[in-house]
Structure 1
C-alpha cells in the first residue's frame, strides 16, 4: 500500500525520484490492472487470482488508511505487516535498524522488539488481515554480536521466552489473537534469500504458532519474476522436517468470497510442483 508522506520513502525510491503521489498512482494502476486480469483469468481458465495488498502498519494514520482502501477497492485479501518503527524502516539496512532502536524508550534491541510486536498487535487487532506477514521481520538486521545490556547476553544467543519475557508475552498475545479470528501465518521464503537458514518466522515462533493451533501458508514475498517461488524447496524441508506440520493452508475464492482451504502434507510432498527444484541445492 502507498505510504502517505515523502518522509517514508525508502532510499532506493528517493534515488528514482519518487514522491508519495507516485506511490498512490502506482497502487491505483495495480488495482486496475489486477482486477482486469483477475476477471479474464478467473472466467476463462482453471487459475484463480485473488487481488490483495500488503498493509503498512507504520502508524495510526497508515492503519486507518488501510480501512479506506478496503472500502474503496475490490480487495480479496490482505497481508498484515510492519516495516517501520518510530517512522524508520527496519528492513532496509542495519544502519536504519540501529536508528530505530535508538528511538525506542531505553535505546535497546529489547525495547525495539517490544515496540515491534506492540505495533504488530495494532495492525492485527484493528484490521484482522487474512495473512500475518513476515511475523519476525524485526530480527532481520539485529546486531547479533552486540551484548544486550539488559541481560549481558549476546543478541544472537537471546532466548526470547526466557530472557525477554515481556517481548515473548507480546508475541504469544499476537499469535492467539490472529488464531482466534482465523488468520493464516505466512512461511516467507524471502528470509532465505536474505541470508537466513529458514523462512520467517524462525522455529521458536513457528512452533508456538503451531502449538496454538495456527495455520500456515506459503509466501515468496517476490519483488520480481525471478523471485517467484524462490527457495520454496527449502521451505518444504522446513515444513516437513522441522515443523512437522500436518497441513498447509491457502486462500481461495468461492463465489466471490475469500475462503481458507488446506492440502495435506502427504499431498503437498507428492505434488509435481517440486520437480522444478530437483537439481537445486
Structure 2
C-alpha cells in the first residue's frame, strides 16, 4: 500500500493528478476528472460508473456553512460531456465495459442518454427521510435527490435496436430510502450514505469488479465498493476531500480484510 502524506501542498492538482493511495482494492487520485491525462489512467472494461457530479446549483443553504462551494458547481462545466469521456466516447471501445451500468446523481436521463450512449434508462429517487435546509427562501425543503440509471451501449445501431432496454426494465423499486448523514456528522455538503451507495453497487456488479467514481467527494462510493468486495478507482479535485477519501477507504480496507479473515 502506498499513501502520500504532505503538509505543504498546492490546492490545484497537477496534470495527470497525484496518486494518494493505491492498493489491490482501491486507487485514489487527487486530480481533475476533466483532465485527459487522468481519464486515461482508469482501466478499460471496468464494471460500473457511479458518481455524483456537481449540479451547477452553487450549494448554498442561505445561512453560514462549514462547507465551501464545490469545484465545478458554477454551471460552467458540461458534466454529461465529461462523463462521456469516462465511459468512452463515440468510436471507442475503451472505458466502461459494454452493456454495463451507470448511476449519475442530479441529472435527468434526457441529458445523459446521448453523450453517455445509454441504451436504456430509469429515473430513481433517493428519499433522504428528512427535509434539508436547501435554499431557505423557498417554501419547500428538498427531501430527495434524483438518480439516473442507465445501460451503456457502445454501438449506435445496438441502441437504436433497443439493446439495453431490458436491463433497465428489470431494476427493482425506483425509490431508495436511506437517511442522509446526520447533522454535524457529514463531511461534505453532498455526502451520500454508504448504505445507499452499497445498494447501487451490489445491484449492478459482482465481487471483484471495478467501480469508478470521477467525482469522489468524501469517498462514500469507494467505502461502499470495498465493503461490498469490489474494487474502486476514485478521483477528487479538492485536496482536503481527497485526503479524507484516502482515510475512509483505508479504514474500509482494514475492515474488509478483517471480515475476510473470519
Question: TM bucket by the smaller chain?
Answer: 0.3 to 0.5
**Which protein has the larger Cα radius of gyration, Structure 1 or Structure 2?**
1
Tell me the TM-score normalized by structure 2: 0.33
Choose between structure 1 and 2 for higher RCO, CA contacts under 8 A separated by at least 6 residues: 2
Q: Could you say which structure has the higher strand fraction?
A: 2
Q: Could you say which structure has the higher helix fraction?
A: 1
Tell me the TM-score normalized by structure 1: 0.31
